Amino acid sequence: MSNNSKKNGKKKQTKKSTSGKPNSGNAISKTSTVSNNTTTSASNEQKDKVTELTQSNRQLKRKIFDLYTVFEISRNFNSVLNYQNLLDSFILTSLAQVSASKGAIFIKEVSRTDKFTMAKGKGSGQFPSPDQFFDGNGKLANYISHLNRPVVTEDLFDDTASEAEQKILAMFHPGVVVPMIYKTRLSGFLLVSDKISQNEFSLDDIEFLSILVNQIVVAIENARLYEAEKQASELLRAAQHQLVNTERLAALGEMSARVAHEINNPLGIIKNYMLLVRRTMGKNIEASGYADIVGQEIDRIANIVRELLDFYRPVKDDLEPLDVVAVMDDVLTLMDRQFKKLNIELITDFNTDEFQINGLADSLKQVFLNIIINACDAMSSGGKLGVKVKLDNNEMIISFYDTGPGIQPEIIPRIFEPFYTTKQSGKGTGLGLSVCYGIIKRHNGSITYKNKDDGGCFEIKLPIHKDTKKNE
């Protein structure tokens, strides 16, 4: 019994031992599962970090590229001094970099006003009219100026923008408004809208526009200053030229009057004695021919003297209300035979016959005749002569245009100088246009010349009479 019990005891212990193996296998399986889960979690975290680093790396590359682009753009723009070209390039560059299709710049055109009007716009769709503007003293301008960073248009459609300003913003919605700050003051706005992808503008887009504007605003201000200095310089140069010309004309006019007075007396005596010589010649044909030549030259001298007197003779102060169209009709009637002889077609356009100017009919007839005769000389083989009278604001504009060869560009600045002529010797004294210039100036007007594609054009501007309508 004892041996059997021992054997049985051994068997039981063996069973217990064998029955314990499955329990050990389950524990190992559980440990393996936990280990796998931990590995998977670590792998996912690592992937997330890699993805995050990749995105950060991509964003850093984008920012580095944007900064390099801004650097290159600003370097190129700082060398551009043409204001309009600079605005064009700035808008096109901004649109290209953020993939947008519409943009505009609003700038104070006159420093004394507080209106920001559109200086340049690019793209399709509706743009603001010249009378639409952002108020420099309004809430929107103050808000953006103090914020000093781009704002999406959606955030401004509240009481920040006035009703008139909201109409402008609606034309660029959805979009971004970027303030242009120069030396702590608001100098303008850049508005960009209509993303090509139809997505919203990203933070990178907004940041790029902000950096770009900060760099370019200096170039824009420099270009504006350059344009202002250029215009001021041109005005000063024109004023100096006009002053020199006026003084020269005044001195020449006074001298001409004295010379004409001194010449007239002996000239009259010579002409009278030539008549006596003719009577004593009898039928001597050869001597008579010589006398005719002398007489023609005396008449030519007399004509020069008369032009010299006209050049200096002042217009009376008491100018009278005058019908320019009536004066022009008289001159054209006088020249009618000459037009037919030279085969010149006359084209008239008088659409302001109800308006008058202050002037003297005889003096203006002399001006009109001189210009028309010059046009006929330029079209000796035929052509067209156009005479147009129109009203522009408070000025009467009288234009004479012909189909002649025109005037060489380098000569145009000198055509009103006394004794300067392009005609052949003996066919002109060079005083005709100078006399015209003096008469028009004394009528408080201006006379200019310019070449056209098919000829030349003289343009006269005269102030209209205050009580302008003849019928009133």
Residues 326 and 452 in one domain: yes
Range with lowest mean pLDDT among 33-42, 263-272, 413-422: 33-42
**How would residue 11 be classed by pLDDT, with cut points 50, 70 and 90?**
very low
Residues 286 and 353 in one domain: no
Would residue 455 count as lying in a domain? yes
Separation in Å, CA 447 to CA 52, 328, 396, 441, 462 = 74, 16, 12, 8, 9
Residues 252 and 360 in one domain: no
pLDDT greater than 80 at residue 379: yes
**How would residue 77 be classed by pLDDT, with cut points 50, 70 and 90?**
low
Query: Which residue from 122, 257, 262 is spatially nearest to 194, judged by alpha carbons?
Result: 122
pLDDT greater than 80 at residue 59: no
Residues 275 and 402 in one domain: no
pLDDT greater than 70 at residue 76: no
List, in order, residues 6 or more apart from 213 with CB less than 8 Å away. Answer: 178, 179, 180, 190
Stretch 310-330: mean pLDDT: 75
Range with lowest mean pLDDT among 92-106, 240-254, 323-337: 240-254
Residue-level pLDDT at 165: 92
Q: How many CB atoms lie within 10 A of CB 379?
A: 20
Stretch 160-181: mean pLDDT: 91
Would residue 276 count as lying in a domain? yes
Residue 424 belongs to domain spanning:
320-469
| Ramachandran category for residue 291: left, alpha or beta (phi over 0 → left; psi -120 to 50 → alpha) | alpha
Stretch 33-46: mean pLDDT: 67
- Separation CA 197–CA 202 (nearest Å): 12
pLDDT greater than 60 at residue 427: no
Share of the chain above pLDDT 90, in %: 14
Would residue 201 count as lying in a domain? no
Residue-level pLDDT at 252: 66
- Separation CA 141–CA 136 (nearest Å): 6
Residue-level pLDDT at 352: 63
pLDDT greater than 70 at residue 9: no
Token output for 220: 């824009």
**pLDDT 10s digits, 324-369:** 888 999 889 888 888 998 999 999 988 765 678 888 888 888 899 8
Which of 312, 332, 352 is the C-terminal boundary of a domain? 312
pLDDT greater than 80 at residue 451: yes
Residue-level pLDDT at 468: 53
Residues 433 and 330 in one domain: yes
Residues 307 and 344 in one domain: no
For the chain, the average pLDDT equals 78
384: domain CATH number is 3.30.565.10
Stretch 217-222: mean pLDDT: 76
249: domain CATH number is 1.10.287
Residues 253 and 334 in one domain: no
Stretch 84-112: mean pLDDT: 81
Is the model more confident about 300 or about 438? 438
Stretch 196-208: mean pLDDT: 85
Residues 278 and 361 in one domain: no
Residue-level pLDDT at 38: 66
Residue-level pLDDT at 346: 92
Residue-level pLDDT at 103: 92
Residue-level pLDDT at 74: 58
Is the model more confident about 180 or about 42? 180
Residues 301 and 421 in one domain: no
Which of 254, 285, 312 is the C-terminal boundary of a domain? 312
Residue-level pLDDT at 399: 93
**pLDDT 10s digits, 273-301:** 777 787 777 677 777 777 777 877 787 77
Residue-level pLDDT at 31: 58
Q: Domain tally for the chain?
A: 2
Residues 367 and 450 in one domain: yes
Stretch 166-170: mean pLDDT: 92
Dmax (CA) of the chain: 199
pLDDT greater than 80 at residue 312: no
pLDDT greater than 70 at residue 372: yes
Residue-level pLDDT at 299: 78
Query: Which residue from 116, 119, 118, 156 is spatially nearest to 140, judged by alpha carbons?
Result: 156
Token output for 1: 């019994």
Residues 255 and 371 in one domain: no
Query: Which residue from 442, 416, 253, 249 is spatially nearest to 359, judged by alpha carbons?
Result: 442
Would residue 284 count as lying in a domain? yes
pLDDT greater than 60 at residue 220: yes
Would residue 169 count as lying in a domain? no
Residues 346 and 297 in one domain: no
pLDDT greater than 80 at residue 305: no
Would residue 130 count as lying in a domain? no
Contact of 390 with 351, CB cutoff 8 Å: yes
β-pairing verdict for 383-392 and 395-402: antiparallel
Would residue 223 count as lying in a domain? no
Which of 312, 342, 358 is the C-terminal boundary of a domain? 312
Would residue 189 count as lying in a domain? no
pLDDT greater than 50 at residue 246: yes
